[in-house]
Amino acid sequence: MVKKFIILGYGNPDRGDDGVAYYLLQKLIRQFGNDADILTKFEEVGVCEVNEQIDIWYNLQLIPEISQDLAQYENAIFIDAHTAEIPEPILITKITPKYQNSPFTHHLTPASCLSLAEKLYQHAPNATLVTIRGYQFDFSRELSPQTNVLADSAFEEISRLIAE
């Protein structure tokens, strides 16, 4: 059975606004989850079921192994933080499978993950990237006030994407 959604969050929750995906996954679990225990274990178990239609996955960064899981879904939503290099405070964009070379050996893009899923497992889900502007990336588990407001708006958009 192919599930409807996987929501992938990545970033470092110990680096301020870089943890916005972690914050949003927790909020999504509270909104859509069937099991309160998910909040305490979602960052440790890989793909985690939120309900019959939605799974989540969290990591500090995207990894090639996630491509096998991606191939099992109709839709994927990637959530990450961005800096001022992207002008929009919240950028929501469709992603297509495309391998993207990176100068960093540990960096993998959502489009590259989709490309791996398509090439290795003959299926890539319909995918959307939701990236939220970060302002502070120091050592903290708190979001900046600006990113916190943006995260709440992004949550509404992600909820809308799930409902469509």
Whole-structure pTM value: 0.93
Find, among 56, 52, 54, the residue nearest to 41 by Cα.
56
- Per-residue tens of pLDDT for the chain, all 164 residues: 567 999 999 999 999 999 999 999 999 999 998 776 777 777 777 788 899 999 999 999 999 999 999 999 999 999 999 998 889 999 999 999 998 766 555 578 999 999 999 999 999 999 999 999 999 999 999 999 999 999 999 999 999 999 98
26 C-beta neighbours (distance < 10 Å), count: 20
Using DSSP's 3-state secondary structure scheme, residue 115 falls into helix
